[in-house]
Copies of this chain bind each other. A is one copy, B any other.
Amino acid sequence: MNPLSRRTLLGAAVGTAAAASWPRSAFGAAPAGPLAAEITRRHDESLQRLQAWIREPCIAAENKGYDAGVPFFLQMLRDAGFQKVEQVPTSGKPGVFATLDAGAPKTLGLYFMYDVKQVDPSEWSSPPFEGRLVDKPGFGKVIVGRGAVNQKGPEATFLAALHAYRTAKRKLPVNLVLVAEGEEEIGSPHFGEVVKRPDIASALGKSIGIFMPSASQDPDGAVEMTLGGKGVIELELVASGARWGRGPSKDVHSAYRAALDSPAFHLVQALSTLVTADGSEPAIDGFADRARPLSASELQMVKRAAQRLSEAKQKELLGVKRWLHDEDWEHALVRLCSRPTVNIEGLVGGYTGPGGKTMLPTRTVAKLDLRLVPDMTADGALAALKAHLQKRGFGDIEVNMSGGYDPTTTPADSPFITAMEAIYRKAGVEPLLVPRSGGSWPGYLFTGKPLNLPAGHYGLGHGSGAHAPDEYLVIESSNPRVAGLDAAVNSHVAYLESLAG
A interface residue numbers (CB < 8 A to B): 1-2, 4, 6, 9, 60-62, 117-118, 186-187, 230, 232, 234-236, 241-242, 245-262, 264-266, 268-269, 271-272, 275, 277-280, 318-324, 327, 332-333, 335-336, 338-362, 364, 367, 369, 371, 393, 402-403, 437-440, 466-467
Q: Give which listed residue, B261, B345, B358, contacts A357 with CB less than 8 A.
A: B345
Residues of B within 8 A of A339 (CB): 258
Contact indicator B347/A259 (Cβ below 8 Å): no
- A62 nearest CB across to chain B (Å): 6
Contact indicator A277/B268 (Cβ below 8 Å): no
Report how far A353 CA is from B120 CA in the complex, Å: 11
Contact indicator B258/A268 (Cβ below 8 Å): no
Interface majority SS on A: helix, strand, loop or mixed?
mixed
Contact indicator B346/A350 (Cβ below 8 Å): yes
Contact indicator B186/A356 (Cβ below 8 Å): yes
Sorted nearest first, the 5 A-B pairs with minimum C-beta distance are: A249-B319, A61-B355, A346-B350, A255-B438, A255-B439
Residues of B within 8 A of A335 (CB): 258-259
Report how far A257 CA is from B402 CA in the complex, Å: 20
Contact indicator A367/B371 (Cβ below 8 Å): no
- A394 nearest CB across to chain B (Å): 11
Report how far A278 CA is from B263 CA in the complex, Å: 11
Contact indicator B357/A118 (Cβ below 8 Å): yes
Beta-carbon nearest neighbor of A373 in chain B: B258
Q: Give which listed residue, B1, B247, B264, B338, contacts A320 with CB less than 8 A.
A: B247
Q: Give which listed residue, B62, B249, B268, B333, contacts A272 with CB less than 8 A.
A: B268
Contact indicator A358/B332 (Cβ below 8 Å): no
- A241 nearest CB across to chain B (Å): 7
Contact indicator B402/A324 (Cβ below 8 Å): no
- Of A235, A246, A318, A324, chain B has the most CB atoms within 10 Å of the CB of A318
Report how far A268 CA is from B368 CA in the complex, Å: 13
Report how far A251 CA is from B465 CA in the complex, Å: 12
Contact indicator B261/A279 (Cβ below 8 Å): yes
Contact indicator B258/A344 (Cβ below 8 Å): no
Contact indicator B265/A268 (Cβ below 8 Å): no
Q: List 10 A-B contacts (CB under 8 A).
A: A6-B358, A62-B354, A187-B356, A245-B321, A254-B341, A257-B341, A258-B438, A260-B318, A262-B275, A265-B275
Q: Give which listed residue, B259, B353, B361, contacts A344 with CB less than 8 A.
A: B361
Report how far A230 CA is from B438 CA in the complex, Å: 50
Contact indicator A369/B254 (Cβ below 8 Å): yes
Contact indicator B362/A319 (Cβ below 8 Å): yes
- A105 nearest CB across to chain B (Å): 38
Residues of B within 8 A of A241 (CB): 319-320
Q: Give which listed residue, B2, B255, B347, B348, contacts A437 with CB less than 8 A.
A: B255
